[in-house]
């Protein structure tokens, strides 16, 4: 890295169009902020593309983050942008290795806030050990974006193969890694300016350490997915359809915090449809379910892990929810205007 004069950047309070123009100002922003926080050998090469050595099967995934507001209880768009993409890799049994980071910044965006967000990204990366190795910075005029959008795209070597949306089998147990709906509820709360007496924070979290432990325990994981947009309902319905099996869920076994339940009653949401950003669902043989719960219990973020249902041969392609009173109904893929911009 050439020697850069950071004084100009540090005295700039807000992002200008010239920070995205491809000239000197952009160079200063990139080197003074992004390179400093994400520093690593590959990034420092400054080639048109990063050069990686990848072996075996590689998982490849992308997500653009447009969450509003940018800061919420339990995280911000930066933490989310790392956890989200790292988790998509982890869900394929892949070790998160290399990420790209592409930002679209609205003219006038506060540089101090950008620094806080970038620092959160660097901090979240340290949990999985993944590195940001290439990036892109665009600035659009005031009114042409809502503050900041971040795209992260990631690659990682698959360490456990066979995990697939198509691989659920009769008799599999369905496990959820913690209580559901926290992220959606935290965003709703931030957006509505609500303050609850109890502390409701997003589940936003990097899941790789827990997944790595499950893989190390040699469990025969059939399917695994983080329940982001569309929540638990979306994951279970996609699985039921892709694997052409039925899934029975026992409503009372699904962990939901009192705070999330309260917000859902207030706003008419179903906890099953609310987004999560650090909660995942596992399908694996019934006889390995207790072992999986034991592995998960070592992780603070998986403290409420529970078996919530099983794969059945009834109603192939559908998810059946049995209530505490014994009544049964379809748990459908959410539709209509769900809570927008939760990620």
Identify residues 29-88 at the interface with its own copies (CB under 8 A). Answer: 45-54, 56-66, 68, 88
- How many residues bind its own copies (CB under 8 A)? The answer is 88
Nearer of residues 56 and 326 to its own copies, judged by Cβ: 56
Nearer of residues 75 and 93 to its own copies, judged by Cβ: 93
Report CA 194 to chain centroid distance, whole Å: 24
* Structure tokens belonging to residue 312: 């059945």
The answer to whether 184 touches 342, Cβ cutoff 8 Å, is yes
Nearer of residues 157 and 312 to its own copies, judged by Cβ: 157
Residues 6+ apart with CB under 8 A from 48: none
Q: What is the maximal distance between C-alpha atoms in the chain? A: 69
Smallest separation, CB 57 to its own copies (Å): 5
Positions 96 through 125 that interact with its own copies (CB under 8 A): 98, 100-104
CA atoms of 33 and 107, how far apart (whole Å)? 17
Smallest separation, CB 197 to its own copies (Å): 30
Using rule CB under 8 A, residue 278 touches its own copies: no
Nearer of residues 143 and 324 to its own copies, judged by Cβ: 143
Size of the chain in residues: 343
The answer to whether 234 touches 227, Cβ cutoff 8 Å, is yes
Q: Which of 15, 130, 133, 292 binds its own copies (CB under 8 A)?
A: 133
Smallest separation, CB 199 to its own copies (Å): 26
Positions 199 through 238 that interact with its own copies (CB under 8 A): 225-226, 228-231, 234, 238
Give the DSSP per-residue string, 284-337: EEGGGHHHHHHHHTTSGGGTT-EEEEEEESSSTT-EEEE-TTS-EEE-PPP-S-
Nearer of residues 39 and 258 to its own copies, judged by Cβ: 39
Q: Residue 181's closest CA among 231, 250, 234, 235?
A: 231
Smallest separation, CB 27 to its own copies (Å): 7
Nearer of residues 41 and 199 to its own copies, judged by Cβ: 41
* Structure tokens belonging to residue 109: 């965006």
Q: Which of 122, 213, 242, 293 binds its own copies (CB under 8 A)?
A: 242
Positions 137 through 196 that interact with its own copies (CB under 8 A): 138-141, 143-146, 149, 151, 153-155, 158, 164-166
**Per-position x/- string for 244-273, each x denoting binding to its own copies as judged by CB under 8 A, each - no binding:** -----------------------------x
How many Cα atoms sit within 13 Å of 136 on the Cβ side?
11
Is the backbone of residue 201 left (phi > 0), alpha (psi -120 to 50) or beta?
beta
């Amino acid at each position: 890295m050439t020697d850069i004069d950071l004084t100009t950047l540090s005295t700039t309070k807000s992002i200008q169009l010239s920070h995205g123009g491809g000239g000197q100002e952009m160079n200063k922003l990139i080197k003074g902020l992004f390179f400093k926080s994400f520093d690593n050998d590959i990034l420092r090469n400054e080639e048109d593309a990063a050069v990686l050595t990848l072996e075996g099967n590689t998982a490849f995934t992308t997500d653009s983050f447009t969450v509003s507001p940018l800061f919420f209880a339990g995280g911000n768009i930066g933490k989310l942008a790392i956890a989200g993409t790292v988790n998509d890799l982890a869900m394929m049994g892949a070790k998160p290795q290399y990420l790209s980071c592409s930002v679209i910044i609205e003219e006038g965006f506060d540089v101090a806030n950008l620094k806080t967000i970038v620092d959160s990204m660097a901090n979240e990366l340290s949990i999985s050990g993944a590195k940001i190795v290439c990036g892109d910075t665009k600035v659009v005029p005031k009114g042409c974006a809502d503050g900041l959008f971040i795209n992260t795209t990631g690659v990682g070597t698959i360490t456990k193969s066979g995990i697939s949306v198509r691989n659920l089998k009769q008799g599999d147990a369905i496990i959820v890694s913690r209580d559901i709906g926290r992220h959606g509820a935290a965003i709703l709360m931030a957006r509505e300016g609500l303050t609850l007496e109890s502390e409701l924070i997003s589940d936003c979290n990097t899941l790789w350490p827990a997944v790595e432990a499950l893989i190390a325990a040699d469990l025969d994981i059939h399917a695994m997915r983080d329940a982001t947009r569309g929540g638990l309902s979306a994951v279970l319905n996609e699985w039921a359809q892709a694997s052409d099996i039925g899934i029975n869920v026992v409503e009372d076994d699904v962990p939901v915090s009192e705070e999330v339940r309260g917000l859902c009653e207030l706003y008419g949401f179903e906890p099953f449809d609310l987004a999560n950003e650090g909660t995942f669902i596992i399908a694996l043989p019934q006889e390995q379910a207790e072992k999986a719960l034991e592995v998960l219990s070592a992780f603070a973020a998986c403290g409420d892990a529970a078996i919530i249902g099983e794969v059945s041969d009834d109603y192939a392609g559908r998810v059946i929810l049995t209530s505490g009173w014994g009544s049964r109904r379809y748990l459908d893929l959410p539709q209509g205007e769900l809570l927008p911009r939760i990620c």
